[in-house]
Amino acid sequence: MQRTIFLINGPNLNLLGTRKVEVYGTTTLAELVAMVEAEAALHGFALTAVQSNHEGGLVDAIHAARAGGFGIVINPGAYSHTSVAIRDAIEGVALPTIEVHLSNIYAREPFRRHSFVSEVARGVITGLGPVGYLLAVRALATLGDVR
Amino acid sequence: MQRTIFLINGPNLNLLGTRKVEVYGTTTLAELVAMVEAEAALHGFALTAVQSNHEGGLVDAIHAARAGGFGIVINPGAYSHTSVAIRDAIEGVALPTIEVHLSNIYAREPFRRHSFVSEVARGVITGLGPVGYLLAVRALATLGDVR
Amino acid sequence: MQRTIFLINGPNLNLLGTRKVEVYGTTTLAELVAMVEAEAALHGFALTAVQSNHEGGLVDAIHAARAGGFGIVINPGAYSHTSVAIRDAIEGVALPTIEVHLSNIYAREPFRRHSFVSEVARGVITGLGPVGYLLAVRALATLGDVR
Amino acid sequence: MQRTIFLINGPNLNLLGTRKVEVYGTTTLAELVAMVEAEAALHGFALTAVQSNHEGGLVDAIHAARAGGFGIVINPGAYSHTSVAIRDAIEGVALPTIEVHLSNIYAREPFRRHSFVSEVARGVITGLGPVGYLLAVRALATLGDVR
Amino acid sequence: MQRTIFLINGPNLNLLGTRKVEVYGTTTLAELVAMVEAEAALHGFALTAVQSNHEGGLVDAIHAARAGGFGIVINPGAYSHTSVAIRDAIEGVALPTIEVHLSNIYAREPFRRHSFVSEVARGVITGLGPVGYLLAVRALATLGDVR
Amino acid sequence: MQRTIFLINGPNLNLLGTRKVEVYGTTTLAELVAMVEAEAALHGFALTAVQSNHEGGLVDAIHAARAGGFGIVINPGAYSHTSVAIRDAIEGVALPTIEVHLSNIYAREPFRRHSFVSEVARGVITGLGPVGYLLAVRALATLGDVR
Amino acid sequence: MQRTIFLINGPNLNLLGTRKVEVYGTTTLAELVAMVEAEAALHGFALTAVQSNHEGGLVDAIHAARAGGFGIVINPGAYSHTSVAIRDAIEGVALPTIEVHLSNIYAREPFRRHSFVSEVARGVITGLGPVGYLLAVRALATLGDVR
Amino acid sequence: MQRTIFLINGPNLNLLGTRKVEVYGTTTLAELVAMVEAEAALHGFALTAVQSNHEGGLVDAIHAARAGGFGIVINPGAYSHTSVAIRDAIEGVALPTIEVHLSNIYAREPFRRHSFVSEVARGVITGLGPVGYLLAVRALATLGDVR
Amino acid sequence: MQRTIFLINGPNLNLLGTRKVEVYGTTTLAELVAMVEAEAALHGFALTAVQSNHEGGLVDAIHAARAGGFGIVINPGAYSHTSVAIRDAIEGVALPTIEVHLSNIYAREPFRRHSFVSEVARGVITGLGPVGYLLAVRALATLGDVR
Amino acid sequence: MQRTIFLINGPNLNLLGTRKVEVYGTTTLAELVAMVEAEAALHGFALTAVQSNHEGGLVDAIHAARAGGFGIVINPGAYSHTSVAIRDAIEGVALPTIEVHLSNIYAREPFRRHSFVSEVARGVITGLGPVGYLLAVRALATLGDVR
Amino acid sequence: MQRTIFLINGPNLNLLGTRKVEVYGTTTLAELVAMVEAEAALHGFALTAVQSNHEGGLVDAIHAARAGGFGIVINPGAYSHTSVAIRDAIEGVALPTIEVHLSNIYAREPFRRHSFVSEVARGVITGLGPVGYLLAVRALATLGDVR
Amino acid sequence: MQRTIFLINGPNLNLLGTRKVEVYGTTTLAELVAMVEAEAALHGFALTAVQSNHEGGLVDAIHAARAGGFGIVINPGAYSHTSVAIRDAIEGVALPTIEVHLSNIYAREPFRRHSFVSEVARGVITGLGPVGYLLAVRALATLGDVR
pLDDT of residue H145: 46
pLDDT in tens, G88-106: 999 999 999 999 999 999 9
Whether the per-residue pLDDT at D144 is higher than 70: the answer is no
Touch J-G: 3+ C-beta pairs under 8 A: yes
> What is d(CA C59, CA C72) in angstroms, rounded to the nearest whole number?
12
Query: Chains contacting E with at least 3 CB pairs below 8 Å?
Result: C, G, J
Whether this model's ipTM surpasses 0.90 comes out as yes
Identify the pLDDT of residue H10: 98
Instruction: Please say if the pLDDT value at position C147 is more than 70.
Output: no
Is A133 an annotated catalytic residue? Answer: no
The confidence score (pLDDT) of residue G147 equals 35
> Taking Cα atoms as reference points, which of G120, G127, G61 lies closest to residue G91?
G120
**DSSP character for H12?**
T
d(CA K4, CA F124): 52
Tens digits of per-residue pLDDT, I45-100? Answer: 999 999 999 999 999 999 999 988 999 999 999 999 999 999 999 999 999 999 99
Report phi then psi at J75, rounded to 5: -115, 95
- Greater confidence (J58 vs E2) lies with J58
Q: A79 and B84 in contact by Cβ < 8 A?
A: yes
Q: Which residues in chain K have Cβ-Cβ distances shorter than 8 Å to I57? A: 54
pLDDT-derived band at A1 (thresholds 50, 70, 90) equals: low
Contacts of residue G124 in chain F, CB cutoff 8 Å?
A: 104, 106, 124-127
For residue E115, pLDDT over 90 is answered with yes
Q: Which residues of F touch D (CB under 8 A)?
A: 10-12, 14-15, 19-20, 52-57, 77-79, 81-82, 111-112
CA distance L104 to chain K (A): 16
Q: Which residues contact K125 (CB under 8 A, 6 or more apart)?
A: H123, H124, H125, H135, K98, K99, K100, K101, K132, K135, K136, K139
> Rounded to whole angstroms, how far apart are CA atoms C54 and A6?
20
Q: Which of G106, G137, G145 to mutate to test the interface with F (most CBs of F within 10 A)?
A: G106
Task: List, in sequence order, every beta strand (DSSP E) within B19-106.
Answer: 45-51, 69-75, 97-101
Chain D nearest CA to H75, separation (Å): 18
Of F57, F92, F94, the CB nearest to H12: F92
- Write out pLDDT tens, residues H45-81: 999 999 999 999 999 999 999 988 999 999 999 999 9
Give burial (CB, 10 Å; 0-12/13-18/19+) of G39.
buried
For residues D7 and D133, the answer to whether their CB atoms sit within 8 Å is yes
Confidence grade of residue L1 (pLDDT, cut at 50, 70, 90): low
Q: What is the 3-state secondary structure (H, E, C) of F6-75?
A: EEEECCCHHHCCCCCHHHHCCCCHHHHHHHHHHHHHHCCEEEEEEECCCHHHHHHHHHHCCCCEEEEEEE
Long-range contacts of G105-109 (CB under 8 A, 24+ apart): G105/G80, G106/F115, G106/F118, G106/F119, G106/F121, G106/F124, G107/F118, G107/F119, G107/F120, G107/F121
Q: So what's the pLDDT on residue G2? A: 79
pLDDT digits (tens, 9 = 90+) for B26-56: 999 999 999 999 999 999 999 999 999 999 9
Return the SS3 of H104: coil
CB contact under 8 A, B92 and A10: no
Give me the pLDDT at residue F144, please. Answer: 54
Residue K1 is predicted with a pLDDT of 59
pLDDT, position K144: 54
Cα torsion angle, E104, E105, E110, E114, sign: negative
pLDDT > 70: percent of chain G: 97
Burial (Cβ within 10 Å: 0-12, 13-18, ≥19) of residue L138: buried
With CB atoms and an 8 Å threshold, state whether E127 touches C132.
no
Percent of chain I with pLDDT over 90: 88
**C47-56 pLDDT, tens per residue?**
999 999 999 9
Residues J91, G14: C-beta atoms closer than 8 Å: no
DSSP D126: E
**Contact (CB<8Å) K104/H121:** yes
Q: How far apart are CA D36 and CA D137, in angstroms?
A: 7
In this prediction, residues A36-56 reach a mean pLDDT of 97
Kindly tell me the sign of the dihedral angle through the C-alpha atoms of B87, B90, B96, B97: negative
| H or E stretch at L139 | helix L130-145
pLDDT at F146 over 90: no
Instruction: Give residue B144's pLDDT.
Output: 54
Which residues of I carry out catalysis? 24, 101
pLDDT score of L145 = 46
List, for residues D1-41, the tens digit of each pLDDT value. 579 999 999 999 999 998 888 888 899 999 999 999 999 99
Instruction: Provide the pLDDT confidence category of residue A25 given band limits of 50, 70 and 90.
Output: confident
| CA distance to partner chain K, nearest, from residue I55 (Å) | 7
What pLDDT shows up at residue A20? 82
> Is the torsion defined by CA of F106, F110, F111, F116 positive or negative?
positive
State pLDDT tens for residues F58-97: 999 999 999 889 999 999 999 999 999 999 999 999 999 9
What is the distance between the alpha carbons of residues F7 and C117, in angstroms, rounded to a whole number? 50
Under the banding of pLDDT at 50, 70 and 90, the label for residue I146 is very low
Which residues, at least 6 apart from L144, have a Cβ–Cβ distance to it below 8 Å? L3, L43, L70, L71
Q: What is the pLDDT of residue A6?
A: 98
Are B and A touching by the rule of 3+ CB pairs within 8 Å? yes
- Mean pLDDT on F20-43: 93
pLDDT over threshold 90, residue J76: yes
Average pLDDT, chain F: 94
Separation of alpha carbons J120 and H60, rounded Å? 50
Contact B91 A20 (CB under 8 A): yes
pLDDT recorded at residue B1? 59
Residue J146 scores a pLDDT above 60: no
Task: Select from D52, D81, D111 the Cβ nearest to the Cβ of H56.
Answer: D52
What pLDDT shows up at residue I145?
46
CB-CB neighbors (< 8 A) of D115 in chain H: none
3-class state of residue A117 by DSSP: helix
Mean per-residue pLDDT, H22-31: 90
Residue J112 makes CB contacts below 8 A (sequence gap 6+) with E84, J80, J81, J105, J106
Q: What is the pLDDT of residue G146?
A: 38
Q: How far apart are CA I139 and CA E37, in angstroms?
A: 69
G27/chain F closest Cα distance in angstroms: 13
> What was the pLDDT predicted at A146?
38
Residues of chain H with a CB closer than 8 angstroms to some CB in chain F: 10-12, 14-15, 19-20, 52-57, 77-79, 81-82, 111-112
Q: Is the predicted pLDDT of residue G27 greater than 70, yes or no?
A: yes
Confidence grade of residue K68 (pLDDT, cut at 50, 70, 90): confident
Q: What is the pLDDT of residues L79-113, one digit of tens each?
A: 999 999 999 999 999 999 999 999 999 999 999 99
Report strand pairing: C123-126 vs F45-51: unpaired
List of chain J residues whose C-beta atoms are within 8 Å of the C-beta of residue E116: 111
Whether there are 3 or more C-beta pairs closer than 8 Å between H and K is yes
When the pLDDT of each residue in chain J is averaged and rounded to a whole number, the result is: 94
Mutate to test the interface with D, among B104, B105, B120 (most CBs of D within 10 A): B104
J20 chain-E contacts, CB cut-off 8 A: 91-92
Residue H61: its pLDDT value, please?
98
DSSP character string of G123-139: EEEESSTHHHHHHHHHH
Mean pLDDT for H25-51 is 96
Whether pLDDT at I144 is above 60: no
Contact (CB<8Å) D132/B138: no
For A87-122, what is each residue's pLDDT tens digit?
999 999 999 999 999 999 999 999 999 999 999 999
Predicted pLDDT at K78: 98
- Confidence tier at K146 by pLDDT (50, 70, 90): very low
Q: What is the mean pLDDT of residues B130-139?
A: 98
- DSSP string for E54-83: -HHHHHHHHHHHTTTEEEEEEE-GGGGGT-
Option in J20, J56, J112 nearest E92 (CB): J20
* Residues K138/K120, Cβ–Cβ less than 8 Å: no
Residue B147 has pLDDT above 50, yes or no: no
Percent of all residues in chain C with a pLDDT value above 70, rounded to a whole number: 97
Average pLDDT over residues K65-85: 96
- G19, J93: Cβ pair inside 8 Å? yes
Q: Round to whole Å and give the CA distance between B112 and B77.
A: 10
Query: What local confidence, expressed as pLDDT, does residue F132 receive?
Result: 98
What is the DSSP-derived secondary structure letter of residue J129?
T
* Closest CB to F84 among H14, H19, H81: H81
Cβ count near C41 (within 10 Å): 13
Q: Do F127 and G114 touch (CB under 8 A)?
A: no
Residue J2 clears pLDDT 90, i.e. is over it? no
Q: What's the gap in Å between the CA of C119 and the closest CA on chain E?
A: 4
Chain B, chain D: beta-carbon pairs less than 8 Å apart: 77
* pLDDT tens profile H87-130: 999 999 999 999 999 999 999 999 999 999 999 999 999 999 99
- Asked if residues H85 and D53 have their Cβ atoms less than 8 Å apart, the reply is yes
pLDDT of A18 reads 87
Percentage of residues of chain D with pLDDT beyond 70: 97
Confidence at A24, pLDDT banded by 50, 70, 90: confident
Mean pLDDT, chain C, rounded, equals 94
Minimum CA–CA partner of G54 in chain J? J56
Which pLDDT band, with edges at 50, 70 and 90, does A144 fall under?
low
